[in-house]
Structure 1
């Protein structure tokens, strides 16, 4: 008898267009209500709740009740990594409006990939960290140099503390829009938190895209020599 995990059951959950749309929305590591996720998927709230119950049963999402609303979030970082990998092979979505076109440009420029920075900005950051000898790169991961640890400390990120987290520390993540690597793991998450805390980056409501503030434009140029192009 076959007792291995049933991949087909997980694949069946992901291949439903409504569930796929909601899972993609949840890739920014934030909580959303069933109503908000219904908007992403273009379905009624009752339908979204049905799909979310399926995903919860499969241990892919968790929920938290607050007041009258129940909020949903991806349960595991590994689920996000799998979904991002699938996006690499997915054909581009059809853009039917100016709003969709603007959102697509924003997501490709700078977005969250679960809990770390992705898109053009995320890839440029990873490449500059290597070029400036803050990170060393091998086939699967990055390692932090003494020079890098000193720079990160100035940004409020203590590498020793980050290493204590029970997760991958500093691995490479293949960016689906850039087809190059950005920085993921606990260090990638800590840097994104630092950029938000310092006011370099701001999250957008109901979007994986993030906005680079005027302060951020100056600081990314000053610290990492990254020029932020307007588009």
Structure 2
């Protein structure tokens, strides 16, 4: 007897190479047009539109209209978490892209994972906040401690606004490049936004790469040092 959710349908949607490229492009957290996504997928706009219709019907993407334009984004953080986990599984099994370039190193160092910081920087931040007791892991979930609340507030995060929002304050996400945990949820997003506001880092146009300035790197390493 077949029981439980139908994972085959979702897997089939993700498994098509063009749709996989489209979904990977949307991991930047930005909403993109069909033309932009067609370029990412290496297909015509007409073909991309057909793929996008299937992804929307499957609940993996959502569409927002602005005037004559239609902007596509991932439907939520759950989709991003599944994609990041699949990237980690593929990397772990040696299924890497044939062509690599300078950005591959940069992506592993620091990148956007939907709306939060991933890569070595994201892992370092999570590890530091855990070692210092700001984050505690309880029953497969991560919780912000009282000292953590003081820390993120001092860092410039509006914690009260995060707690009023519908999204979880803290979530964990498995990093594909190192297969270790980084911080997601409302707090993960807010920490990245604040780093950008402080001038520590900026997102590279047309990529998921996050570039830290020299001063930003020094500040990051001082703020998120692990004191053994």
Fold conserved between structures, TM > 0.5 = yes
Q: Does 1:190 align with 2:187?
A: no
Cα 1:158–1:69 shift into 2, 3 Å: closer
Q: How does 1:123-202 map to 2 (within 5 A)?
A: 123-138=123-138, 140-202=140-202
Deviations 1:45-67 (A, max 9, x none): 22111111111121211122334
What is the CA–CA distance in structure 1 between the aligned matches of 2:4 and 2:171, rounded to whole Å?
28
State the TM-score, normalizing by the size of structure 2.
0.88
After TM superposition, give the deviation of residue 3 of structure 1 in Å: 8.4
Query: Alignment partner of 1:72: what SS?
Result: strand
Deviations 1:62-83 (A, max 9, x none): 1223344321101121111111
Query: Alignment partner of 1:216: what SS?
Result: helix
Deviations 1:9-34 (A, max 9, x none): 22111110000111011112111111
Q: Between Structure 1 and Structure 2, how many residues are aligned?
A: 223
Is the Cα–Cα contact under 8 Å of residues 140 and 171 in structure 1 kept in the other structure? Answer: no
What is the CA–CA distance in structure 2 between the aligned matches of 1:23 and 1:171, rounded to whole Å?
21
Is the Cα–Cα contact under 8 Å of residues 29 and 74 in structure 1 kept in the other structure? Answer: yes
Query: Alignment partner of 1:168: what SS?
Result: coil
Cα 1:58–1:195 shift into 2, 3 Å: same
Match of 1:219 in 2: 219
After TM superposition, give the deviation of residue 2 of structure 1 in Å: 6.7
Deviations 1:116-172 (A, max 9, x none): 111111001111112233222345233223332222112221334322322222122
Match of 1:72 in 2: 72
What is the CA–CA distance in structure 1 between the aligned matches of 2:68 and 2:102, rounded to whole Å?
33
Where in structure 1 are there 5+ consecutive unaligned residues?
227-231
Is the Cα–Cα contact under 8 Å of residues 111 and 208 in structure 2 kept in the other structure? Answer: yes
What is the CA–CA distance in structure 2 between the aligned matches of 1:27 and 1:62, rounded to whole Å?
13
Is the Cα–Cα contact under 8 Å of residues 88 and 178 in structure 2 kept in the other structure? Answer: no
What is the CA–CA distance in structure 2 between the aligned matches of 1:71 and 1:9, rounded to whole Å?
24
Q: Does 1:56 align with 2:56?
A: yes
What is the CA–CA distance in structure 1 between the aligned matches of 2:193 and 2:183, rounded to whole Å?
13
- Tell me how large the CA RMSD over aligned residues is: 2.1
Is the Cα–Cα contact under 8 Å of residues 140 and 172 in structure 1 kept in the other structure? Answer: no
Is the Cα–Cα contact under 8 Å of residues 124 and 224 in structure 2 kept in the other structure? Answer: no
State the TM-score, normalizing by the size of structure 1.
0.87
Q: Does 1:94 align with 2:97?
A: yes
